[in-house]
Structure 1
């Protein structure tokens, strides 16, 4: 008789281990129009593929690890992990109300667009589409009462050293700080038996010596029966442009300074039946630069993403989806007159699958 590879007295341990395989694969048809430029194309794409492991070691200690195969595995010069390692942290429950988290984690930024995994977001708005979400540091989560949680983190503000990130693109006088650090605080609230929820956050990061980014997010969520509504407002003031949109518009070879971004994000979900759910995402972003004439709005972007899900199984989260992604980028008169830019739009049709599979 063959002996089991895992002894029967160890089987109980597997109940504390989760292994997940997350995948989004799709067929894309896209078209770009702007100025004298035009192109279109068709392709299959693996939009998101990741393997994750999380485990409860005992009642007070747990860990989480996730490898996203779509990102580069090159070891980053600051945190010494590849960009493909999104999560690698230990969670220590110091008390029933207080958790300590150490390792590479997601920053506690607010808002519900950020709350979703990239598996679920077909296209991010401009701030989170260009933000560095997974960094190394330490954080605490404190639940003073049942419906409210406060979070605080001290993190590296980037994963690579100054020279590796900016190289020759940095403006004159830009130097590496003693510590490229980010401080993040957030509040999660729940009201009216969970029908109304909030995720607010404020953060400040030091990107280079004496220059940083101040970022605020106000996220709101309303749930009632088959309807869910989410709305985020975000503002980011960047003494050194970390999102790159203003830098790209100016195009003088240097990283821009004193850039601002203001954006709105709205998502509505409605479950028509146990098998079908419809989504509509709307988004806007304003990119602002600081010049001798004062603050000038350089570009406003708009987006809308209607989506339909079909779930064939009752107990397995496997979905077919069909979606349209429309983005329009409108440059201001100031940008058109002073920089070599022109307004343009992108249109994309996707059909594919989304599945966060729980393997164990």
Structure 2
């Protein structure tokens, strides 16, 4: 039996420069509430400090607010850029969230995606991946309750320990961001972490999917660990509507602003060509879906054919359409895409076909039973008379 695919979103978020930022953040919280009601299993929230579009600087603060407004959806840091934070304060924030959410937080880690963020802090992108590894390995020791003394060229801990034990045992789930390079897969394999493939549908990221998963499994085997495909998460942009024409009309709202942001900022591994219709080009190359639920189903099948089983597909939250049509797209996914991918309606179809196929004999038996009951009733009346 194929693995059940869970539903989620990856909320960077992306908000154009001409909208009120306060309302944008409130709308993001409202979106998470909407997804929780629809039954989505996960929502991941980014950390960014520059560029103007991705305006959540602390996923932990956002998650604390979202947790109070939701009941069951799991909330992930997507991701904490570890080189920007002292490991002790990071560990303490995540453990506090682990308790506040009653175990619904997922600890996503990465080196930091935007070079402009690192440069603002005087950090060379050349050192961020090594610092990510150093940071998370110290955090694991803190999660385990150790007292840690560790001097680095970017932090210093002296007899440091966390005050809280994890709510989730032995610690909250950890996932490593992976795009093109093998560093994320290597770290995930070493410790048996989950893998968060943030560029899974982009050309370079798609090509690297199976390679990085293979690296993660090889490193895991060498370290006595096992990679769990249920904790492999792939990210890609989607907007669906009842018809393709309607979907394309919807994305005219904000698609170009999104594409121009990516082109100007040049996020690593995620180039966007803004000549002509940039969203159309993304769809044509397979990195995005704009269309119907059937188009979204085809994208998932394409990813499964490339990767094999994976645990969660995270729709990239992009605000290409207005908010009402965006919410409708997420609803259509839950109504039509998720049940098709997971074959949830096969037993219902089988039951329908079985009942329909035997309908003549069932109806005849019911009619015979009714006739027999009437006959018995009449016979009883005759005897009393």
Same fold (TM over 0.5): no
Q: Which has the higher contact order (CA 8 A, sep 6+)?
A: 2
> Greater helix percent: which structure?
2
TM-score, length-normalised on structure 2?
Answer: 0.30
> Greater strand percent: which structure?
1
TM-score, length-normalised on structure 1?
Answer: 0.32
